[in-house]
């Protein structure tokens, strides 16, 4: 199958400049299959490709996809995913009108593994470890000492129906999974649509991301651990519908720390009737949850729809996080607007939470994420920006 992939890639490259005979000179999409390990630099021409199994971009290799391409996985293949190993680069430069779409033929959430990227930026795992093994079933190492690691560019890319549970049924893949990815990587205008796990998960690292949409993902819209500390994040938008847990699940692997991510312009919305994966009684229905020493600096936040009985806009889950992060002013949420009367914040159980002065502020003029709609943010003729 590897040879098939290579031959199709070469064929696609040859047809990049070809066009139809009509007056408009429209370039016709190439048809092909992607499979196996990619061991040499490749440009994948504009086209429609099927994804067969786990495609890996090996260290030292750059793979570039043309704008407007579609890549279709199938649950019948077993596990499909695109994996960028540490040292490899994935370049997907879509545009607002010609996004690169990765989907699945049955349109069933949880059918494939999405995009998984590995780097060697620093992590801070449980117990202070600096390297770990991935939880995606691939059992690959992540963590390192290179904060500026560059795994490529993902721009105007939409991942649909990912979040596959594999091996024993508990190892999980997300829409986008970033393992110790560094600040040299560009993540802009991305959509994670109707996956069965998290929309985006960051496992340590220093990468930042702007203009993100997480729509209809079953677990958390945004999730991180292992000391992720991206500093230049903006315009994060989540819309939870039918099934969904937290809008944002924030933890730092039980390490009290003096660093944190910074995110400006956040919108978290939950549609009426949305329940958690385990049913609403599972108590994972808050907009934002901090636990295991999670922290961060967040501003211009709009929260709507988290009205299930007992839900709150911000939940502090454990006493250690309350003492070391809230009370020590390592969690900061400013210019917060809650549209429907949901309580501002609370502790789990009987835990009492009181933010220091200036660490939690509200504003009726907060606007949240500022995104421009287009083909990139539209599925089936419906805008994802509700």
Q: Is the dihedral of CA 349, 351, 356, 357 positive or negative?
A: positive
- For 305, the token pair is 């729809």
CA 27 to CA 21: how far, in whole Å? 10
Average pLDDT over residues 165-184: 86
Rounded to two decimals, what is the model's pTM? Answer: 0.93
Give the three-class secondary structure for 319: helix
CA 125 to CA 217: how far, in whole Å? 25
CA atoms in the 13 A half-sphere facing the CB of 377? 22
Average pLDDT along the chain = 92
Give the three-class secondary structure for 190: strand
- The two beta strands, 233-240 and 262-270, are parallel
pLDDT over threshold 60, residue 7: no
Q: What is the DSSP letter of 107?
A: -
Count Cβ neighbours within 10 Å for each residue of 245-265 and write b for 16 or more, e otherwise. bbbbbbbbbbbebeebbbbbb
pLDDT over threshold 70, residue 9: no
Q: Is the dihedral of CA 253, 257, 262, 266 positive or negative?
A: positive
pLDDT band at 19, cuts 50/70/90?
Answer: very low
Which residue(s) pair with 160 in the sheet?
193
Give the three-class secondary structure for 215: strand
pLDDT of residue 169: 57
- Determine which of 100-114, 153-167, 324-338, 364-378 has the lowest per-residue pLDDT on average: 153-167
């Amino acid at each position: 199958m590897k040879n098939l992939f290579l031959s199709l890639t070469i064929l696609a490259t040859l047809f990049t400049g070809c066009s139809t005979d009509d007056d408009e000179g429209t370039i016709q999409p190439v048809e092909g299959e992607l499979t196996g390990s990619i061991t040499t630099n490749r440009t994948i021409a504009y086209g429609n490709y099927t994804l067969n199994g786990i495609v890996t971009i090996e260290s030292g290799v750059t793979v570039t996809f043309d704008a407007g391409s579609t890549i279709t996985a199938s649950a019948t293949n077993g596990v499909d995913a695109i994996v960028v190993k540490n040292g490899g680069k994935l370049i997907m430069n879509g545009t607002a009108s010609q996004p690169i779409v990765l989907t699945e033929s049955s349109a069933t959430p949880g059918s494939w593994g999405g995009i998984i990227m590995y780097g060697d930026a620093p992590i801070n795992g449980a117990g202070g470890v600096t390297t770990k093994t991935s939880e995606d079933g691939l059992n690959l190492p992540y963590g390192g000492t290179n904060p500026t690691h560059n795994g490529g560019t993902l721009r105007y890319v939409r991942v649909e129906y990912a979040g596959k549970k594999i091996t024993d049924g508990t190892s999980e893949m997300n829409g986008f999974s970033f393992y110790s990815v560094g600040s040299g990587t560009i993540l802009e205008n991305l959509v994670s649509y109707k996956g069965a796990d998290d929309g985006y998960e960051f496992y340590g690292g220093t990468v930042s991301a702007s203009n993100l949409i997480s729509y209809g993902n079953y677990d958390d819209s945004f999730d991180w651990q292992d000391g992720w500390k991206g500093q230049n994040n903006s315009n994060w938008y989540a819309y939870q519908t039918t099934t969904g847990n937290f809008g944002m699940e924030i933890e730092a692997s039980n390490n009290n720390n003096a660093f944190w991510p910074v995110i400006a312009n956040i919108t978290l919305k939950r549609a009426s009737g949305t329940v958690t994966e385990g049913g609403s009684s599972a108590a994972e229905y808050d907009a934002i949850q901090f636990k295991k020493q999670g922290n961060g600096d967040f501003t211009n936040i709009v929260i709507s729809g988290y009205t299930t009985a007992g839900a709150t806009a911000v939940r502090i889950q454990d006493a250690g996080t309350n003492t070391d992060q809230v009370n020590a002013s390592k969690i900061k949420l400013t210019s917060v607007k809650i549209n429907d009367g949901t309580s501002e914040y609370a502790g789990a159980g009987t835990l009492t939470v009181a933010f220091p002065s200036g660490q939690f502020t509200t504003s009726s003029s907060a606007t949240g994420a500022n995104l421009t709609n287009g083909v990139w943010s539209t599925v089936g003729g419906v805008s994802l920006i509700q």
